[in-house]
Copies of this chain bind each other. A is one copy, B any other.
Amino acid sequence: MSRHRYLCHVRFSDVDVYGHVNNVKYFENFQEARLAFILALAGDDPGTGLRQVVARIDVDYKRPILFRPEPYLIETWVTHVGTSSYALDARIVDEQAASTVYSTAQVRLVAFDPGTQRSRPLSSEERSRLEQALADAVPA
């Protein structure tokens, strides 16, 4: 995969009093896309836990998202692989017209050891998959 593609089905419940998908729901939808990406990355190796926590999220709002039956498209890709962390970029676009960008996000994730409740180095398997994904990522 070059960029992971997630179809985002907006709900009426995502819409606030201004008639737009609420700012908070952009994060929820980015999260859904990110989880689908991480599951796809783990692929056939369930041992590749990719167990992690989110350290930071930055979101830019570019234009309002409206409730409609047709899904939006969220693209997610790897932009950096560190020792114990990695970074993703994502954006919400129109499926028919990817040049229409609704929002962009940068996310930093840290590999996490549930036992010690502390960060840990990425395993070699995790690193290998993330670096492959990084190499595959195509600039917009």
Contacts and interface: CB of A to CB of B under 8 A. Distances in A.
Contact of A55 (B13, B17, B60): B60
B12 A23 contact: no
A61 B69 contact: no
Contacts of A84: none
Given A12-B16, A60-B56, A23 B32 contact: no
A31 B58 contact: no
Interface string A74-118: 000000000000000000000000000000000000000000000
A135 interface: no
A116 to B, nearest CB: 14
B55 A28 contact: no
Given A17-B17, A19-B17, A27-B27, A32 B56 contact: no
Interface in A1-49: 9, 11-13, 15-19, 22-24, 27-28, 31-32, 35-36
Interface of A: 9, 11-13, 15-19, 22-24, 27-28, 31-32, 35-36, 53-61, 69
Given A15-B16, A24-B24, 18 more contacts: A12-B16, A12-B35, A13-B16, A13-B22, A13-B28, A13-B32, A16-B17, A23-B57, A24-B27, A27-B27, A54-B61, A55-B60, A55-B61, A56-B58, A57-B58, A57-B59, A58-B58, A58-B59
